[in-house]
Structure 1
Amino acid sequence: MDARIEQVVTSGKVTLDDTEYDVESNTYIVGDDDEVIVIDPSHDAEAILKEVGDREVMAVILTDGNEHRLSVVLEVAAAGEDDEENWAPIGLHRADRLLWRDYFGRLAKEEDDEDDAKALRSLEPDIWLEDGGVFEIAGAQLEIVHTPGHTPGSVCVISEQLSALFSGDTLHRNRPGSVGGVYEDLRKQLNSIGALLTPLPKDLRVLPGQGDETTVGDEDARWESWGALAREAED
């Protein structure tokens, strides 16, 4: 197996419920010297594509449909190719389709050219991610696990060969994941995290969408204590 993991940290602003947050995000590039899959491009497509270099982007996986990912996903999928037929396929869970449609619908309203606006409104992901779906790159398998809560269509990605769990914004180090401390459905998110972590090896690396990496064992040990956060959110 020749696959390896590279990380790019980018920063930008994310607006949720009319409030703007400064966010620093992790993008992961998985592959070898020839081909890669990009997980969670965010904020700065140029920085991500600089790390990709001359390698072919075989797919782009989004662990959720929030705007800091959608704002750069087309540019990363294109990777300098003018012909859309040569763009990498974009994967998103169907439960985040509304987030996708809302984002590109807003862009369409800002377009003066009606043909461009129509194209934006008609955009759809190329692949609807499903629980148990698998991508392959450079001898490594990337398995999709649906983990709703942060968003309805949040997913995580597990690679046994790379001994890594890409947890997106479902799970961060020391806490359930969030953008700006905002939780959409924390109880559902905690249930997803618990079901995700329980069967996994305790020494498996967790590579989150924000912040430093951790391990399954460390976060599993903290999981039960997070119930208080859910009770506070409901009060």
Structure 2
Amino acid sequence: MDARIEQVVSKGKCTFEDTQYEVESNTYIVGDDDEVIVIDPAHDAEAILKAVGDREVMAVICTDGLDAHLNAVLEVAAAGEEDEDDWAPIALHRHDRILWRDFFARLAKEEEDEDDQQALRSLEPDIWLEDGGIFEIAGVQLEVHHTPGHTPGSVSIYCEQLGVLFSGDTLHRGKPGSIAGNFADLRQQLNSIGSLLTPLPKDTRVLPGQGPETTVGDEDARWESWGELARESDD
């Protein structure tokens, strides 16, 4: 098994409920010397593609449909290829389709050419992620877990061979993931986190969409204490 994980940290803006926030996001590159899968291409396509180098991007996985994970997705999928037939497929959960469409509709408004506007409005992901779906890269498997709450289509990606959970913005170190402390559906998010963590080995590394890494054991021990956050969000 030659698979390894590389991380790119970048800063940019994310829109949540019509308000823009400055966020620092993690992008993960999983693969070997020849091929990679990019998870959550955030903000800075140039930095991500520099880390990819001359390796082939086999897929781009977005763990949710918020713009922090979409604003560099086309450039990373293209990876310098002009012919769209040579672009890497982009994967997103279907329940975040409206977030995808809202994002590209906003981009379309910035274009003067009507054909470019229409092209952006008609864009769709190439792959609709499903719970239990599998991606293979460099001798390892990346398993999709639907973990709604942060967004309806949020997913986490588990790799047993590497002992890693890519939790997106469903789970951050020490807390459920949020955008500047804002939660869309915290109760559902906590249910997703609990169901996700329970069966996994406690020493599994958790690589989140924002902030430093943690472990399944550390976050599982904190999970019940987050109920107070849910009660506060109901008030």
TM-score (normalised: structure 2): 0.99
Offset of residue 20 of structure 1:
2.4
Offset of residue 39 of structure 1:
0.3
Measured against aligned partners, the alpha-carbon deviations of 1:45-77 in whole angstroms (never above 9, x if no partner) come to: 000000000000000000000011111100000
Q: Does 1:142 align with 2:142?
A: yes
- Displaced runs of 4+ in structure 1, greater than 6 A? none
Q: Which residue of 2 aligns with 1:218?
A: 218
Q: Give distance in 1, aligned partners of 2:18 and 2:125.
A: 26
Q: Give distance in 2, aligned partners of 1:15 and 1:58.
A: 28
- Return the letter of the residue paired with 1:132: G
Q: Give distance in 2, aligned partners of 1:127 and 1:85.
A: 14
Q: Give distance in 1, aligned partners of 2:106 and 2:194.
A: 35
Further displaced range: 194-203 or 108-117: 108-117
Q: Which residue of 2 aligns with 1:182?
A: 182
Provide the aligned C-alpha RMSD in A.
Answer: 0.7
Q: Which residue of 2 aligns with 1:8?
A: 8
Q: Which SS does the other structure have where 1:71 is aligned?
A: coil
Consecutive unaligned residues of structure 2, counting only runs of 5 or more, are: none
Q: Give distance in 2, aligned partners of 1:27 and 1:116.
A: 28
Offset of residue 108 of structure 1:
1.4
Q: Does 1:109 align with 2:106?
A: no
Q: Percent identity?
A: 78
Q: Which SS does the other structure have where 2:7 is aligned?
A: strand
- Return the letter of the residue paired with 2:173: R
Q: Give distance in 2, aligned partners of 1:231 and 1:211.
A: 25
TM-score (normalised: structure 1): 0.99
Consecutive unaligned residues of structure 1, counting only runs of 5 or more, are: none
Q: Which SS does the other structure have where 1:108 is aligned?
A: helix
Q: Give distance in 1, aligned partners of 2:189 and 2:47.
A: 30
Q: Which residue of 2 aligns with 1:227?
A: 227
Aligned residues: 235
Q: Give distance in 2, aligned partners of 1:217 and 1:15.
A: 31
CA contact (8 A) 2:60 2:89 kept: yes
Offset of residue 109 of structure 1:
2.1
Offset of residue 146 of structure 1:
0.0
Q: Which residue of 1 aligns with 2:57?
A: 57
Q: Which residue of 2 aligns with 1:22?
A: 22
Q: Does 1:133 align with 2:133?
A: yes
